[in-house]
Structure 1
Amino acid sequence: MSIKVGDSIPAMTLVKATADGPAPVTTGDLFGGRTVALFSVPGAFTPTCSARHLPGYVDNAAAMQGKGVDEVVCVSVNDAFVMAAWGKSASADGKVTMIADGNGDFSKALGLTFDGSAYGMGVRGQRFSMIIKDGKVAELNVEPPGAFGVSSAEHLLGQLA
């Protein structure tokens, strides 16, 4: 069963890519007491994710902050080193926080995974976006397989009051 609007984000530890290397971050610290725009991509450096998904959030981060978002966060089933390199290549520093869900535990806890084994990718997080307010899901947009639209930065920006 997947997470839905009104649900709390599960308590767990993810890994944040920092200038000093990987650092643990709890979902409580990341999402508690603040408003966060979270989006998930199937994989760093993949075509749609690199050409449209992450760049949209980089370009719209300031506009989201202007509408009350404290932080824009990207999560993917990749390791922190890959997430850091991808963030750097996309000029995301200071705009989008890159979070690694290396084993896919967070994506599984949300109930938002898919099996990409046929493409050599294993279990991955689905493409989605959400607005999280004080640790609870306020908006949730899950893409159908192969689609890119409702998880875009532009769509999420339109959902912000």
Structure 2
Amino acid sequence: MKAGVKLPQVTFHTRVRDEAVGGPNPFRWQDMTTADFFAGKRVVLFSLPGAFTPTCSTYQLPGFENGFADFAEQGIDSIYCMSVNDSFVMNKWAEAQDLKNVTVIPDGSGEFTRKMGMLVAKDNLGFGMRSWRYAAIINDGVVEAWFEEPGMSDNHPEDPYGVSSPETVLAYLVNHKADVAA
């Protein structure tokens, strides 16, 4: 659907660990741009409705985390998890999930998600505006392949999951390896 689309240029407000800050919460603000995350790399980006939510925490994030070596074998440099959550929430979720391979990207205001056309209302769950669940293979800031869950709509009564799963994205990479090599 979005193959060939260049990612929108936005600034993500992140918190990074910096021991020079000292104290029990040694983090500082660091703005990161779309280019900082995506330029010159082939990555998997997956976005989901919310940190700490059941499907995201039980299946999607752990699947990408645990399968990182398999993705690297297919030419993936990094795996990014994005959500319309602030950096504090995303960092705590990364800590709770003991992430070593997946990098979280906070899209706190939903600017990137809105510009990608993936921002939906989740007021039926008390979430407000959130991302529809999707995954993408991004090559140097351009969408190479797109995996969007069906039925995108505001206040969807369900949380479809499968099209954007790590297994689906990895299968695509394995089956299209010859395309990339050509």
TM-score of the pair, normalised by structure 1: 0.93
> Greater Rg, structure 1 or structure 2?
2
Q: Is the 8 A contact 1:35 1:134 kept in 2?
A: yes
How far is 1:16 from its partner? 3.7
Q: How many residues align?
A: 158
Q: Is the 8 A contact 1:16 1:98 kept in 2?
A: no
Q: Distance in 2 between matches of 1:156 and 1:16?
A: 26
How far is 1:144 from its partner? 2.2
Q: Distance in 2 between matches of 1:90 and 1:159?
A: 26
1:80 equivalent among 81, 87, 93:
87
Aligned position for 1:68: 75
The letter of the residue matching 2:44 is A
- The 3 A distance-change label for structure 1 pair 57 and 16 is farther
The letter of the residue matching 2:107 is D
**Quick one: percent identity of the two aligned structures?**
41
Aligned position for 2:62: 55
Aligned position for 2:105: 99
Q: Distance in 1 between matches of 2:16 and 2:76?
A: 21
How far is 1:40 from its partner? 0.3
Instruction: Show structure 2 runs of 5+ residues with no match.
Output: 19-26, 152-158, 178-182
Taking only aligned residues, the RMSD between alpha carbons, in angstroms, comes to 1.3
Aligned position for 2:169: 156
Q: Distance in 2 between matches of 1:50 and 1:17?
A: 21
**What does residue range 1-161 of structure 1 map to in structure 2 within 5 Å?**
4-20=2-18, 21=27, 22-93=29-100, 95-145=101-151, 146-160=159-173, 161=177
Q: Distance in 1 between matches of 2:30 and 2:57?
A: 24
How far is 1:92 from its partner? 1.1
TM-score of the pair, normalised by structure 2: 0.83
Q: Distance in 2 between matches of 1:132 and 1:16?
A: 21
- The 3 A distance-change label for structure 1 pair 148 and 24 is same
SS at match of 1:149: coil
